[in-house]
Structure 1
Amino acid sequence: MINYRIILSFIGNTLILLSIIMVIPLMYAFITVSRGSAEFLASMVITMITGLLIKNLTKNHSMTMTIRDMFLFTTMLWVTIVIFAAIPIHLIMRTDLLSSCIETAAAVSTSGNTVIGNVDLIPGSILIWRSMLQYLGGIGFIAVGIAILPNLNVGGMKLFSTESSKESTDKVMPKSKTLATGMVITYLGLTLLAYVVYYFLGMSSFDAFNHALTSLSTGGMSTHQSSMNYFSPTIHWAVILFMFLGALPFPLVFLAIHGHLKELLSDAQVRGFMALIIVVSLVTTLSLVFSEDYPVADAFRVALFNTVSVISTTGYSLEDYSNYNDFITMLFFFLIPLGACSSSTSGGLKIFRLQIGFILFKRQIKQLMHPAAIFPQKYNNQPVNDVIIRSIITFFCAYFIVVFVSSLLLCLSGFGMLDALSATMACMSNLGIGLGPNVGPNGDFSVLTDWQKIILCFDMITGRLEVLTILICFVPSFWKV
């Protein structure tokens, strides 16, 4: 039986925390005498009262969560945050409630797209609120990815019960409570460092604060309609660094900061992530130099920035890669769903799943040549058993079924084939930007119909929660006692 009391109790606590966080954009609006102070105050009161009521009505609950409770709690948590975080946007921007919810869904899922329109016309309090939601969504997903998803074995995440389960890493990995505290401090520390670096490289204090939040969380929302094109090339290099850091496994980043850099650099997914960035950046650079007549230095900067932005699923735009030659456009199209490392703020399929898929492919080829032989498979020196293999295969199937169905529905609603497929994959991977004038790097979702927005909103939340966490709630047997 589902323990609704404990689920709702945690939801109540979340709403109370969310209302407290609203103080920051409220104070900004009040101090700068700009739009939003009254609306954020009203939103804070509504959210706080709702949280307290839910908390009060669910007293004396059991402290034990079953597997079903965890699935439902994870889904309800994200949906609840999306709804209540949309209240100030709805009140200030006068957008309809659906568009407001989709804006917050994009923020919390770190997808980075927008339905509001011209970002330059958005009040500062809302820009801060969007950035904070992306930041919270980033650290929230790291927590879910470490504490909940491994217990549910969603998409092979059981491999990362303590993140990297290699024997060498286990010897230096601290206890869960110490690790959790350390990762929060690491996340905050890197954010502060990003702010300082951005500020001293020429960003305003306001821009530096917002981009520190949205680059480390690999969210990609900017304070300017032109995104990274607004800033100098020097700032581009700094943003590349913090997007890259946000896409690494945070438990291993924590270890690296404390003197165990070898554990980070020896991790299979980190090596694969770095290799992919290097190869794609160099290939794109050569294509820009020889096909688009770019200077070598500019070509490398643009290529590296867009490669890291797409693979890390950040979604900052620097020029529109869909306007380059067909080779680059197709290359980035295939990069959209990949994603970066597990236990990072990135979305997507994740590097480790692709690597395990390749391991299984090689084993199957060997098995065809030597049917009687036994070929053990390992990942990071850890055995990959049939339970994990089935989990990963199921994840891939579910992921691409959602992509297929969503793309068909978008085509039915009037989208072109490439626009529909790239938009769906961009939302499922939490990149946020696809290809084309409406959903590409220079577009936004404000021109979409309500039906199209709903489809892509579902994709953003489904992709953020690793697909199966959402889909299992649609299975009738899930709700049976």
Structure 2
Amino acid sequence: MNYSVVIYILGWIMEIEAAFLALPGIVSAIYGEKGGFAFLWVALGSAVAGSAIILRKPKNMRFYLREGFVTVALSWILMSVIGCLPFVINGDIPHFADALFEMISGFTTTGATVVSDVEGLTKGSLFWRSFSHWIGGMGVLVFLLAIVPMAGGSHMNLMKAESPGPSVGKLVPKVRQTAKYLYIIYFALTMIEVIFLLFGGMNLFEALTTSFGTAGTGGFAIWNDGFVSVSPYNQWVVTIFMLLFGVNFGFYFLILTGKLRDALKFEEVRIYFIIVIAAAVFIFINLRHFALYAPAEGIRQAFFQVASIITTTGFASADFNLWPETSRTILVLLMFIGACAGSTGGGIKVSRFIIACKSFIKEIISYLHPRSVKKIKIEGKPLEHETLRATNVYFMTYMVIFAVSVLLVSIENKDLVTNFAAVAATFNNIGPGLSLVGPMANFGHFTDFTKYILMFDMLAGRLEIFPMMLLFCPAVWKRRRA
């Protein structure tokens, strides 16, 4: 383990977070809130500590995949700890475990909250909650790649560890350029949504916080009723942009560079939209069967909630906890599918389910035709054995962690639906679940023990499990021989 470079990167993380923390401090100053000083003091402390660390640059800036995984895991934990301190200091969320839960939920773009009265928070805290979604959506390490030079394949090792999906590829030959292009696309889409929401009657604060949550596929709303009272126009705007941010950003890059034919080969994107349309249609028919909404509103509610759940954004335009069982079951299934790889969305990812389905079909064919040789192809290219193996291992590890988490959460003796939904909502970075953690409820009623279990699940879900698991492996912490 190259400890010096890991600590050096953590120092840069503190510097970057200090800059980010200044923004909610400025927002508080604009609204005349005294609580803004909490953000500025924490920003100052983070900046000073970070500067002390990065003053001495390590002689060896090269590090490998295990350093990348450990750095990413520690970075997200450090960001969350520092980021939660203003909540405790300004009194918006005075209990540390609750503040840490809220911050981890923000950075991992989960959107699960412990706050019962969201509108009672200061503007600075509301801005920071939503802005943390935007920071975590693309990943702060991806941002770091664009500004800090490193040796050899170190950039790629960081990107692999932080980027969601079964594989990470470079859009352009240089990884630093890839990181820059990703953030340009991310920023541009966010600003376009802000403009559309402003046209829909939102003020700048509402448009920014909503767009931050949509872009990061987070889920923190600034209203107690979520998006129930938001206008139909703005609900449609948010629906469309939730779906857009759930698409692999490589798809947008190909379109912007004029490679439309290559973009149309994105099998995952096609299936992603097929799932969205099919799920929304089924839910609409189910809602109409029970005469819950008029046709136009039923279509809007169905598409909004499908987009919100499959992209793991977690915004709620209705209390879907009260919907018919068929509709709720479809939403639960979407929780596990998730968005596309290479997007800001969470969940298992559409690409992994495609691989799993094709592997199943291949196995069936091999039983019928033992001598046949059939290769699994994704996007028209043969799937590498390493990717297939990694996908299978991911599924197995996912199921084990999920089962253990449900078991540990059940110690509180809440009902099975609540326990299952709480783990599903946090592990898949969705936010709202069912029963006691439904869209109009919160996670504040859990004990600190359960909250820490769910915090681990949020981090493991956002970081694709293995960076967090490696922290518990003693061999990882051994120094490399020179």
TM tier relative to shorter chain:
over 0.9
- In the alignment, what sits opposite 1:157? 166
Deviation at 1:286, TM superposition (A): 0.6
Contact 1:150–1:157 (CA under 8 A) maintained in structure 2: no
Contact 1:29–1:124 (CA under 8 A) maintained in structure 2: yes
What amino acid sits opposite 2:40 in the alignment?
A: L
Task: Extract structure 1 runs of 4+ deviating beyond 6 A.
Answer: 152-156
Is it true that 1:301 corresponds to 2:300 in the alignment?
yes
Partner Cα separation in structure 2 for residue 391 and residue 459 of structure 1: 20
Structure 1 unaligned regions, length at least 5: 164-172
Could you say if the C-alpha distance between residues 293 and 425 of structure 1 is closer, same or farther in structure 2, counting changes exceeding 3 Å?
A: closer
What amino acid sits opposite 1:205 in the alignment?
A: L
Deviation at 1:303, TM superposition (A): 0.3
* Residue number among 436, 439, 442 corresponding to 1:441 in the alignment: 439
Partner Cα separation in structure 1 for residue 238 and residue 247 of structure 2: 15
Partner Cα separation in structure 1 for residue 34 and residue 227 of structure 2: 25
- The alignment partner of 2:139 has SS state of helix
- In the alignment, what sits opposite 1:476? 474
Normalising by the residue count of structure 1, what TM-score does the alignment of the two structures yield?
Answer: 0.93
Could you say if the C-alpha distance between residues 26 and 154 of structure 1 is closer, same or farther in structure 2, counting changes exceeding 3 Å?
A: closer
Partner Cα separation in structure 1 for residue 366 and residue 165 of structure 2: 23
Is it true that 1:9 corresponds to 2:8 in the alignment?
yes
Deviation at 1:314, TM superposition (A): 0.3
Q: Cα deviations across residues 169-207 of structure 1 (Å, max 9, x unaligned)?
A: xxxx57544433222122111111111110110112210
Could you say if the C-alpha distance between residues 454 and 153 of structure 1 is closer, same or farther in structure 2, counting changes exceeding 3 Å?
A: closer
The aligned length equals: 468
- The alignment partner of 2:166 has SS state of helix
Could you say if the C-alpha distance between residues 398 and 109 of structure 1 is closer, same or farther in structure 2, counting changes exceeding 3 Å?
A: same
Contact 2:247–2:339 (CA under 8 A) maintained in structure 1: yes
- In the alignment, what sits opposite 2:151? none
Contact 2:166–2:352 (CA under 8 A) maintained in structure 1: no
Contact 2:422–2:433 (CA under 8 A) maintained in structure 1: yes
Contact 2:65–2:157 (CA under 8 A) maintained in structure 1: no
- In the alignment, what sits opposite 1:276? 275
State which drifts further: 457-466 or 36-45: 36-45
- In the alignment, what sits opposite 1:168? none
Partner Cα separation in structure 1 for residue 185 and residue 165 of structure 2: 26
Q: Cα deviations across residues 13-39 of structure 1 (Å, max 9, x unaligned)?
A: 111111112221111111221242221
Contact 1:156–1:391 (CA under 8 A) maintained in structure 2: no
Q: Percent identity?
A: 26
Q: Cα deviations across residues 206-233 of structure 1 (Å, max 9, x unaligned)?
A: 1011111111111111111111112111
Contact 1:337–1:428 (CA under 8 A) maintained in structure 2: no
* Residue number among 63, 83, 90 corresponding to 1:85 in the alignment: 83
Could you say if the C-alpha distance between residues 30 and 454 of structure 1 is closer, same or farther in structure 2, counting changes exceeding 3 Å?
A: same
Q: Cα deviations across residues 18-65 of structure 1 (Å, max 9, x unaligned)?
A: 111222111111122124222122111211122122223x53331101
- In the alignment, what sits opposite 1:399? 398
Could you say if the C-alpha distance between residues 278 and 174 of structure 1 is closer, same or farther in structure 2, counting changes exceeding 3 Å?
A: farther
For residues 158-237 of structure 1, what are the structure 2 equivalents within 5 Å?
158=167, 160-162=168-170, 175-237=174-236
Partner Cα separation in structure 1 for residue 7 and residue 397 of structure 2: 28
- In the alignment, what sits opposite 2:431? 432
Deviation at 1:97, TM superposition (A): 1.4
- The alignment partner of 1:445 has SS state of coil
Deviation at 1:449, TM superposition (A): 1.2
Could you say if the C-alpha distance between residues 94 and 367 of structure 1 is closer, same or farther in structure 2, counting changes exceeding 3 Å?
A: closer
Partner Cα separation in structure 1 for residue 397 and residue 37 of structure 2: 44
- The alignment partner of 2:336 has SS state of coil
Contact 1:337–1:426 (CA under 8 A) maintained in structure 2: no
Contact 2:141–2:159 (CA under 8 A) maintained in structure 1: no
What amino acid sits opposite 2:243 in the alignment?
A: F
Partner Cα separation in structure 2 for residue 372 and residue 141 of structure 1: 49
Contact 1:134–1:217 (CA under 8 A) maintained in structure 2: yes
Deviation at 1:261, TM superposition (A): 3.7
Could you say if the C-alpha distance between residues 157 and 111 of structure 1 is closer, same or farther in structure 2, counting changes exceeding 3 Å?
A: same
- In the alignment, what sits opposite 1:373? 372
Partner Cα separation in structure 1 for residue 136 and residue 383 of structure 2: 30
Q: Cα deviations across residues 58-89 of structure 1 (Å, max 9, x unaligned)?
A: 53331101222111101111001000011111
- In the alignment, what sits opposite 2:249? 250
Contact 2:156–2:175 (CA under 8 A) maintained in structure 1: no
Deviation at 1:154, TM superposition (A): 9.6
- In the alignment, what sits opposite 1:109? 108
Partner Cα separation in structure 2 for residue 195 and residue 317 of structure 1: 19
Partner Cα separation in structure 2 for residue 281 and residue 326 of structure 1: 15
- In the alignment, what sits opposite 2:63? 65
Deviation at 1:350, TM superposition (A): 0.3
- In the alignment, what sits opposite 1:337? 336
Deviation at 1:344, TM superposition (A): 0.7
Partner Cα separation in structure 1 for residue 78 and residue 161 of structure 2: 21
What amino acid sits opposite 1:84 in the alignment?
A: I
- The alignment partner of 1:203 has SS state of coil
- In the alignment, what sits opposite 1:52? 51
What amino acid sits opposite 1:202 in the alignment?
A: G
Contact 2:31–2:123 (CA under 8 A) maintained in structure 1: no
Deviation at 1:149, TM superposition (A): 6.8
Partner Cα separation in structure 2 for residue 95 and residue 150 of structure 1: 35
- The alignment partner of 1:346 has SS state of coil
Q: CA RMSD in A?
A: 2.1
Partner Cα separation in structure 2 for residue 404 and residue 275 of structure 1: 30
Contact 1:314–1:346 (CA under 8 A) maintained in structure 2: yes
Contact 2:11–2:50 (CA under 8 A) maintained in structure 1: yes
- The alignment partner of 1:401 has SS state of helix
Contact 1:155–1:395 (CA under 8 A) maintained in structure 2: no
Deviation at 1:478, TM superposition (A): 2.5
- In the alignment, what sits opposite 2:25? 26
Contact 2:141–2:162 (CA under 8 A) maintained in structure 1: no
Deviation at 1:152, TM superposition (A): 6.2
Is it true that 1:134 corresponds to 2:133 in the alignment?
yes
Is it true that 1:411 corresponds to 2:386 in the alignment?
no
Contact 1:227–1:316 (CA under 8 A) maintained in structure 2: yes
Partner Cα separation in structure 2 for residue 20 and residue 453 of structure 1: 28
Is it true that 1:353 corresponds to 2:352 in the alignment?
yes
Q: Cα deviations across residues 97-127 of structure 1 (Å, max 9, x unaligned)?
A: 1111111000000001111221010100001
- The alignment partner of 1:474 has SS state of coil
Contact 2:338–2:347 (CA under 8 A) maintained in structure 1: yes
- The alignment partner of 2:444 has SS state of helix
